Amino acid sequence: MKMNQDDFPQRLERAFVELITVRAEQRGMGKMEFAAQMWPWMKPKIASTRWSAMRSKSAHTGKPQQVTLADAHRMAETLGEDLGYLLSVAKDTVRKEFLRINAKD
């Protein structure tokens, strides 16, 4: 299964969300706690539902909710990390994935 550059932005977004999820878990933050800190003006259950929609496929569309730049910034700030650095880590992950998959073909 060859991946082309058109797949890169979507894979980058997914890799970013996966990275954020792992880093939040490493800090001992549960999903609801992380979401509540990310969107403190929302009720925790609503914030958790929104975070879940970004991590999982929707029953309606079969795709996860897209991540806005504002939400990506909130995620990084909640973790106390630099957004640019986190995006670089996610980008490296996707590049390696592309190289590995495309090398098989």
pTM attached to this predicted model: 0.88
pLDDT tens digit string along 51-62? 999 999 877 788
User: 5 φ, ψ to 5°?
Assistant: -60, -25
pLDDT tens digit string along 80-99? 999 999 999 999 999 998 88
Gyration radius from the chain CA atoms: 15
Tell me how crowded residue 66 is: count the other CB atoms within 10 A of its CB. Answer: 11
Domains delineated in the chain: 9-104 (1.10.260.40)
State both tokens at 41: 């003006």
Helices (H), the chain: 8-26, 31-38, 44-55, 69-79, 83-104
Local structure of 5: helix, strand or coil: helix
